[in-house]
Amino acid sequence: MKLGVFDSGIGGEAVAIALRETFPDAQIDTVNDREHIPYGDKTPSQVREFTEIAIRPFLDDSYDVIILACNTATAIAIDYLRRTYPNQKFIGIEPMIKTAATLTKTGTIAVCATPRTLASNRYKKLVSTYGAHLDIIEPDCSNWAYLIENNQLNRLEIEATISQLCTRGADVIVLGCTHYHWIKSLISELADGRAVVIEPSEAIGRRVVQLLEPSSKVV
């Protein structure tokens, strides 16, 4: 098995680590686009262009699956990529609204994501399909990816955000950017049992298996 993992920055490495644990015998390669990070403040046309250029090393027909380990790239570019490269299998990452809806007891969840992800039609469809009955808080995390990428994380800023979410009743916190996977343990610590923190690393591995089975269908 040969998998290609793309992210704008270091978030893809976190996804690749999880995939290597799931598929120890697979060849798992990563590419990024740190020249243009963050993607969350780019226009849709820029996101599509940057994503397509960055994944060119994977578009040689040798990769079983290309994983867009970037919520923003998934939201903006994956439909275009599937149309443009119909013989290539792609997996995207999206905020886990459906899972959060099954976990919440308070009916209030938080989605930590980039502005471009939150503004995308794919995200809006997720909300209307699975979260229309929920109170969904979307805190301003617009600088988190940059801070994580450049090792400038401000613990006090993160703590203030998580505390506010929990105070407002959010009992599920959805990490909608793979950069945030690197601080999942910190966010869980700050939530201190008041909220569960979820991200899709395990789900990606399951989706790879499904996609490579002859009877599976792309969702």
121 vs 98: CA distance, rounded Å: 16
Together in a domain, 163 and 106: yes
Q: Which pTM value belongs to this model?
A: 0.81
Percentage of the chain lying above the pLDDT 70 cut: 97
Report which of 112, 123, 111 is spatially closest to residue 78, judged by C-alpha positions: 123
Asked whether residue 11 is assigned to any structural domain, the reply reads yes
pLDDT score recorded for residue 214: 57
**Is 177 annotated in the active site?**
yes
Distance between CA atoms of 67 and 178, rounded to whole angstroms? Answer: 12
- The answer to whether residue 188 sits within a structural domain is yes
Residue found under tokens 């499904």 = 210
In CATH, what number is assigned to the domain containing residue 34? 3.40.50.1860
Residue 165: name the closest of 135, 133, 123, 126 by CA: 135
Query: Is residue 100 pLDDT above 90, yes or no?
Result: yes
Whether 26 and 10 map to the same domain: the answer is: yes
Q: What is the pLDDT of residues 58-94, one digit of tens each?
A: 999 999 999 999 888 998 999 999 999 999 999 998 8
Q: Is residue 218 part of a domain?
A: no
Q: Is 112 a catalytic residue?
A: no
Given a cut of 80, whether residue 218 has pLDDT beyond it is: no
**Sheet with strand 65-68: strands edge to edge:** 27-32, 2-7, 65-68, 90-92
65 with 150, same domain: the answer is no
The backbone torsions φ and ψ at residue 204, rounded to the nearest 5 degrees and listed phi first, read: -65, -45
Whether 219 is covered by a domain: the verdict is no
Domain membership flag for residue 207: yes
Amino acid (1-letter code) at residue 93: I
Both 194 and 102 in a single domain?
Answer: yes
* Residue 168 and residue 85 share a domain: no
Domain residue limits at 157: 97-198
Query: Cβ atoms within 10 A of the Cβ of 62, count?
Result: 10
159 Cβ neighbours under 8 A, 6+ residues apart: 190
Residue 60 lies inside a defined structural domain of this protein: yes
Alpha carbons 70 and 6: distance in angstroms, whole number: 7
Considering the domain architecture, whether residues 37 and 128 belong to the same structural domain is answered as: no
Residue 122 and residue 48 share a domain: no
Q: Do residues 84 and 35 share a domain?
A: yes
User: Looking at the structure, do residues 110 and 29 belong to the same domain, yes or no?
Assistant: no
Residues 207, 211: Cα–Cα separation, whole Å? 6
Tokens found for residue 173: 């916190």
**From the candidates 112, 141, 166, 177, which is the catalytic residue?**
177
Number of domain units in the chain: 2
Catalytic site residue from 70, 112, 141, 166? 70
